[in-house]
Structure 1
Amino acid sequence: MTMKVIGAGVGRTGTYSLMLAINQLGFGPCFHMEEVLHAMPKQVPLWTAALTGNADWQAIYSGYNSAVDWPTAGFFKELISVYPMAKFILTERSAESWADSFAPTIYQLLAEKDSAPIEMKDWLAMSMEVIHKSGIPLGLNRQELMKAYTAHNDAVKNTIPADQLLVFDVKQGWQPLCEFLGVPVPNEPFPRSNDRGEFWDRVTGKI
């Protein structure tokens, strides 16, 4: 398999909804951070190696045709070289709303990593490094988070060729996504998933 669609948008920008949409449109299976959570013994060492410049992309994405969310979003510069024919999607929302969603979910989880269950510590350490690679270290205030988020999005736009990149707000629904991927618009509503409550349920294994 080769990667056909790659998401460059960071977590809390509608990446879970985009994953569901990509699967529904026939470009799946789509890799999401949830896949890492479900296969930590295999996936965490692979992504940890990628952080040191020793990525085995075939092993990471074995069985997948697409990927969204972190850790993938932290490696968009590498992935455009590895998969030069792939289409990239940058999920966006306002910097203010992103910071207000990211801070009490992913950022809080990372800040409390020292008190996490032992089986999650390696995953959290890898996740923290990937997010740091995206320009978002621990300890930023709201304004700094907004600035870092904007800088990541600008870097994506400056790296990925314009004809291979869709800048997408999931609130736009099916139309721009389907036009970009060259497929018909489904009759079903666009997926909406992974609000803050669902985030914590996924991380803690409740769903």
Structure 2
Amino acid sequence: MKVIGAGFGRTGTASLKAALERLDLGPCYHMSSVIAEPRRVRQWLDIGEGRPADWDEVFTGFHSALDWPAASYWRDLADHYPDAKVILTVRDRDRWYESMASTIFARALAERHLPLRRRITRWLVARRSPDFVLYPRMARATVIDRVFDGRIDERDHVITVFDQHIAEVKAEIPSDRLLVFDVTEGWEPLCEFLGVPVPDEPFPQTNERAAWHGKRSRRLAELIVRGR
């Protein structure tokens, strides 16, 4: 493991994932890796519910890790991989909350009162992919409850957690091992921190809100059709 991402989801982690892979610091583990391979959902559910984590097993084949659920365990990962550098992605707190409220939190809150159509979809997915259907439970265990104490409908609490998290990472990770990074800064600070040349191309911009909403729905459809 060469790079550990300590930043919360919706702070540009998908763009940073693409950037790290462009810099040959991938494959990069991301929540999208969990969605793409449902067996990983059960791995994280076990970790979230308190069973021992075999980090080398979880990240086999990967050289960097960003986004949740990995970022929920940034302390554990920083200790387990002492030579890895740490990147804390940040953004304006209000814009971050708005993004969270319309994507990840909206999805989690909707799980509490699923309409009939969604319950039927869940049943079909469970038959085809019993690991993937555990995704909401995994998200609660590793992010919603672990990071936010389940209080994702309380804006002030969520923003306080966001600010405290940034302060804790800055306080606990030595400055020569840590980059506090806003993806709008582009290649230069990232490449300087990693000691690599700056690519002659624009910094990646991925995972806008519209794309986020379509991604999991497409994966559900694939699982139903293919039975994976």
Asked if TM exceeds 0.5, the reply is yes
Residue in 1 that maps onto 2:41: 44
Residue in 1 that maps onto 2:156: 143
Deviation by residue 1:79-105 (Cα, 9 ceiling, x = unmatched): 111001100100000111110110010
Distance 1:125 1:96 in 2: 27
Distance 1:139 1:43 in 2: 24
Residue in 2 that maps onto 1:156: 169
Match of 2:4 among 3, 6, 10: 6
Q: How much does 1:138 deviate?
A: 3.5
Distance 1:133 1:158 in 2: 20
Distance 1:136 1:195 in 2: 27
TM-score between the two structures when normalised by the length of structure 2: 0.85
Residue in 2 that maps onto 1:197: 210
% identity of equivalent residues: 40
Distance 2:218 2:175 in 1: 38
Residue in 2 that maps onto 1:104: 102
Matches for 1:34-113 after TM superposition, within 5 Å: 34-40=32-38, 42-51=39-48, 52-113=50-111
Contact 2:151-2:157 within 8 A present in 1 as well: no
Per mean C-alpha deviation after superposition, the further-off stretch among 57-66 and 18-27 is 57-66
Task: Report the AA paired with residue 29 of structure 1.
Answer: P
Contact 1:29-1:66 within 8 A present in 2 as well: yes
Match of 2:147 among 134, 141, 145: 134
1:123 aligns with 2:135: yes
- Partner SS state of residue 112, structure 1: helix
Residue in 2 that maps onto 1:180: 193
Distance 1:194 1:136 in 2: 26
Gaps of 5+ in 2: 126-131, 223-228
Contact 1:111-1:138 within 8 A present in 2 as well: no
Contact 2:151-2:158 within 8 A present in 1 as well: no
Distance 2:88 2:150 in 1: 21
Q: How much does 1:143 deviate?
A: 2.1
Contact 1:136-1:145 within 8 A present in 2 as well: no
Provide closer, same or farther for how the CA distance between residues 136 and 104 of structure 1 changes in structure 2, counting only shifts above 3 A: farther
Larger Rg: 2
Task: Report the AA paired with residue 5 of structure 1.
Answer: V
TM-score between the two structures when normalised by the length of structure 1: 0.93
Distance 1:149 1:53 in 2: 26
Deviation by residue 1:1-51 (Cα, 9 ceiling, x = unmatched): xx10011101100000000000000100000100000111x2112112222
Moved over 4 A (4+): none
Contact 2:148-2:158 within 8 A present in 1 as well: no
Gaps of 5+ in 1: none
Contact 2:43-2:58 within 8 A present in 1 as well: yes
Contact 1:107-1:138 within 8 A present in 2 as well: no
Deviation by residue 1:114-173 (Cα, 9 ceiling, x = unmatched): 425244541111112211322352443222221111112112112222111100000000
Give the length in aligned residue pairs.
204
